[in-house]
Amino acid sequence: MTPKEYLKQARCLDVRINNKLEQLESLNALAQKATSALNGMPRQLGRPNSGMADIIAKIVDLQEEIDKDIDRLIDLKRDVLTAVNAVERLEYRLVLESRYLHFRTWQEIADTLGCNIRHIYRLHDAALKKIRVPPTCH
């Protein structure tokens, strides 16, 4: 695994978590619709509402997945921060932290550091050469 691939893992996981949160929102909206549709209907005795139970089960499963992913993201960000902090030059660390831990755009990083974007690209390329990928990630 290259240093860039290693560092990009956190961003990918963050995007996956956000996608799952959107799915969860959609399932919750569906559950709301199902609840309001059921409230006006007469109940049939002896027949459980399996549609609602399925939706609730999916919501619970997805919430558990999201919780696990968030735990992994926290661990991964801690590992990435350790790797970034091992880089000696402050400018390199600032670029790497901004990009891979705070998910900022190149332009945002350039504006924050008061540099032009091409200089940020050069700093980034040099900083990547200083990153040591943990052996467990190869």
Statement to judge: residues 12 and 34 lie in one domain: yes
Residue 108 lies in domain: 89-131
Statement to judge: residues 82 and 94 lie in one domain: no
- Number of domains forming the structure of the chain: 2
CB 34 within 8 A of CB 2: no
Statement to judge: residues 102 and 121 lie in one domain: yes
pLDDT digits (tens, 9 = 90+) for 27-63: 888 888 766 555 555 555 555 556 778 888 999 999 9
Statement to judge: residues 80 and 58 lie in one domain: yes
pLDDT digits (tens, 9 = 90+) for 102-122: 999 999 999 999 999 999 999
pLDDT digits (tens, 9 = 90+) for 75-95: 999 999 999 999 999 999 999
Statement to judge: residues 81 and 94 lie in one domain: no
**Percentage above 70 pLDDT, the chain:** 86
Statement to judge: residues 100 and 77 lie in one domain: no
